Amino acid sequence: MTSGPLLHIEDLKASIDDQEILKGLSLTINPGEVHAIMGPNGSGKSTLSKILAGHPSYTVTGGSVKYLGEDLLDQEPDERSRNGVFLAFQYPSEIPGVSIQNFLRTALNARREKDIPVLEFRKLLQSKMEMLSMDPSFANRFVNDGFSGGEKKRNEILQMAMLEPRLAILDETDSGLDIDALRIVSAGVNKIMETAVDKPAVLLITHYNRILDYIKPHFVHVLHKGRIIRSGGHDLALELEEKGYDWLINE
C-alpha cells in the first residue's frame, strides 16, 4: 500500500464529442479528507466524477490520475470499483424487478474473492440499515423503482455503507432534496465516515453551500471552465453563498 496521497490528479484534460471540458485540473486528496467541488453549470464538475469512475463517453486527452499510487486511467470501471472507488449518481437509475438486497449482494460479491454467505450478508445489511435509520422493508423494494428523490439518494448512501469505499464521489447528492431529506442523507454520510475502520475520502460535488452545513469539508475548490480557480476551507463556501461565483470568475 502506498504511503502517498489516495488520489492525485495532475493537469487533467478531457473531452466529450470533441468538446474539451476539463482543461488542466489538478487535485490531491488524502485518506479521510472531505473535498467539496463547487462551480457554475458547465464548469466540469460532473465530468470529473464520470472520468474518475471510468465512464466510456469521456476521453482523457492529457494529464494523469494516480489512485493509491497506480494509474487509475488504465483501470476498467469494475476494477476501479473493486479497488474502492464509489460513485453516487446525480440521477440514479431505476432497475424494476431487482430488489435492493439482491442488487447489493451482487455488488458486494463482485468486489470479493469469495461470495459472502447469505446469512452473513443479511446480518451486514441489517446492521448498515440500522446505522442509517432505515426501515428493513426498504431492502425488499426494487432498485429506485417508484422512489422519491430522497429515497433514491438514501439508497445510494446505503450502497456506500455496504461497499465501504476508500474514495466516495458524491455527484450532486443534494440535487432535488428537500431540507428533511438532505439532513437524512447527510447524516448517513457522516455516520459512515465516523464508523468506518479505514476512513474514506469524500469528493463532494455540489452547486450549493447547504449540504456543506451538514457534511463539513476540509477543503473547498471552485471549478470554472475545466480548471480549479480557487481553493480554501469552508469559509470559501460561505463566501460563495453570499457573493455567488462572479466575483471569482471576474477577478
pLDDT number for residue 92 = 86
Predicted TM-score of the model (pTM)? 0.92
Residue 1: band (very low, low, confident or very high) from pLDDT cuts 50, 70, 90: very low
88 CB-side CA count, 13 A: 31
CB 204 within 8 A of CB 186: no
Grid cell listed for 242: 453570499
Rounded to 10 deg, the angle between the 118-131 and 149-163 helix axes is 120
Residue 251: band (very low, low, confident or very high) from pLDDT cuts 50, 70, 90: low
The SS3 assignment for 96 reads strand
Q: Give the residue-averaged pLDDT of 100-122.
A: 94
CB 170 within 8 A of CB 177: no
* CA–CA gap between residue 174 and residue 153 (Å, rounded): 8
The SS3 assignment for 161 reads helix
Identify which of 55, 97, 95 has the alpha carbon closest to the alpha carbon of residue 73: 55
Topology adopted by domain 7-249: Rossmann fold (3.40.50)
| Domain boundaries along the sequence of the chain | 7-249
CB 110 within 8 A of CB 78: yes
> pLDDT of 188-237, one tens digit each?
999 999 988 888 999 999 988 889 999 999 999 999 999 999 999 999 99
